[in-house]
Amino acid sequence: MKNTLIHLKKHILVLMLTLSLVGCKDLTELNVNPNNISEKDANPNLLLPTVLSGTASKYNDLSFGDLSGVVQYTQLDAWFGAHNDYEWTGGILSWEGYYGYLRDNELMLRRSQALGLDFHHGVSLIMRAYIFGLIADLWGDAPYTDALKADLGGPQYNFPKFDRQDVIYKGIIDELKQANTILSKPNGTYDVLAGADLYFNGDVSKWRRFANSLALRYYMRLAEKEAAFAKQGIEHILANPNEFPLITSVDQEVTMGYVGTNSGDSWPSNAIFDASGSNFRRVKMCATFVDRLQQLHDPRLSVWAKRVEVPIQVRASEPPNTDKIVNGVRIVSPDVVKGIPVDTDQDYVGLPASGSKNPSAYNLNPTPGQTSMNPHVSYLNDIYREAKGPLLKARLLSASEVSFILAEAAWKGWTTPESTKAYYDRAVQLSLESWGKSATYSSYIQQQGVAFENTQAQIIEQKWISNWSTAAQAWFDYRRTGYPQLKAGPSSIRTELPLRIPYMQNEMTVNQKNAEEALSRIEKTAHSQADNENSAWSKPWLLQGTGKPW
């Protein structure tokens, strides 16, 4: 009975603390519930899983969701406006969730400093850098130096200024350097509750690798705008491997698996807790992605996609009006498909990128509409129906991404210990290993189109492929380099892909002066049209003057 009561008290404590931390706040107020535990008594071990799980889940939802449509991994055949056509409203526009986890993280940072907990201090700096970096990537200029300080008083903290995008990037790089130093002691010398660390189970050395690898990501992010700064930063890290260890293997990747016990802790497209199955059923592979993977005979396609249930054959020998299924194949005469685009691939068929205002009808779907079950287009692999699984992970930073960054650095002529080819080949190998296809590496890397050609386009294309389910990073690379050369579909609301997430309207209202000042620094483009500066097609600082991606 005593042990039961102790466990019950612990669960109540976690629940109370969680409710106090995730309560909705805006920039004008600091909510304090007198019935909750005081923040000065908060335990960093209880804050840590909240920050880690919340950040990973939110990042995965974004990358597996609408941004997957932008970089043409997937398309939806129903409720598709935001996914296929970039008609963004509501949740994707709001950064409140990100700042909510930053507030939790800020409390963990302060408490870890007060208690002398170096592990939690270092981790909080890394997570602060990760979330602020993501905000800058998505929106551009944003509150940073004055953010998270409303409890200090003063109007500058209630209505924080928007820092320039470059200020945020350089600030988080500095914070990652601090984290690397704090976490430089050997494992076993830190006060760590392994079960609270959902990423690495308390392995401090892996957190240190995370910090330095994340710094590589942001140095390369700046490569087109501040090449000298990016070059110096990456070269310094590579010249001092003992001081700046990096992620070099799959077991060091920054991932989080799903518990799979309810809708809130399960893979987002699962059909276990979604009784209708619509979250899975509506998602289809995109033709852009499928076709390229088929051209390259990529073994990962079978991991990510399902073969068409009923392939189509058009037979000129059949009499007019023929439309029948024989041995699992739908056979039609040419007159049946006259003027209708049909993909007769017998293995995989992707939905064209925003190719229709009625995508559920594509490829002669016999049941078009909101509840369609299209047997002629490839669904995702059935693993994505599940609530959890060995491959169903939020992937915050992979080993292959690190090697692709180094391949691009070497391609640019920067000083690196190994050649561009060595990094490129290793990046491909690591991605195949991540997805359970390491045995296919030798044959895959020798194929035309995969075998090293020493071009940025090839490096980024393979990085695009490896970033499946982490579409945010593929989008950020596309914006910076213009690769792969993706084009908006004919039904999209613009003729080019979007470049940023617009500021949400309530932010423009509540923090109007600072938001408008930030907008004055954004470059309006020919595709911004009636959106003015606050458009998904306007260019933030990172893209201004680069001519990229369009």
Structure tokens at 473: 């990073």
pLDDT category of residue 23 using cuts at 50, 70 and 90: very low
pLDDT surpassing 60 at residue 2: no
pLDDT surpassing 50 at residue 412: yes
Instruction: Tell me which H or E stretch contains 163.
Output: strand 162-163
Rounded percentage of the chain residues whose pLDDT exceeds 70: 93
What pLDDT was estimated at residue 97? 96
What does the alpha-carbon distance between residue 393 and residue 435 come to, in Å, rounded to a whole number? 11
What pLDDT was estimated at residue 268? 96
pLDDT category of residue 37 using cuts at 50, 70 and 90: low
The stretch 33-60 carries a mean pLDDT of: 85
**DSSP, res 159:** S
Structure tokens at 17: 């603390």
pLDDT of 161-179, one tens digit each? 999 999 999 999 999 999 9
What pLDDT was estimated at residue 153? 79
Structure tokens at 252: 């060091």
Beta-carbon contacts of 438 under 8 Å, excluding residues fewer than 6 positions away, are 429, 432
The stretch 393-408 carries a mean pLDDT of: 98
Count of other CB atoms within 10 angstroms of residue 339: 4
Q: How many residues does the chain have?
A: 550
pLDDT of 199-230, one tens digit each? 999 999 999 999 999 999 999 999 999 999 99
pLDDT category of residue 185 using cuts at 50, 70 and 90: very high
Runs of H (alpha helix) within 223-286: 227-239, 278-281
Interior CA angle at 426 toward 423 and 430, to 5°? 135
Q: Provide the pairing of β-strand 283-285 with 74-76.
A: antiparallel
What pLDDT was estimated at residue 30? 42
What does the alpha-carbon distance between residue 471 and residue 455 come to, in Å, rounded to a whole number? 22
What is the CA 121 to chain-centroid distance, rounded?
25
Beta-carbon contacts of 462 under 8 Å, excluding residues fewer than 6 positions away, are 404, 424, 427, 428, 431, 450
Query: Which residue shows structure tokens 């987002």?
Result: 268
pLDDT of 254-312, one tens digit each? 999 999 999 999 999 999 999 889 999 999 999 999 999 999 999 999 999 999 999 99
What does the alpha-carbon distance between residue 96 and residue 92 come to, in Å, rounded to a whole number? 10
What does the alpha-carbon distance between residue 50 and residue 73 come to, in Å, rounded to a whole number? 30
pLDDT surpassing 60 at residue 100: yes
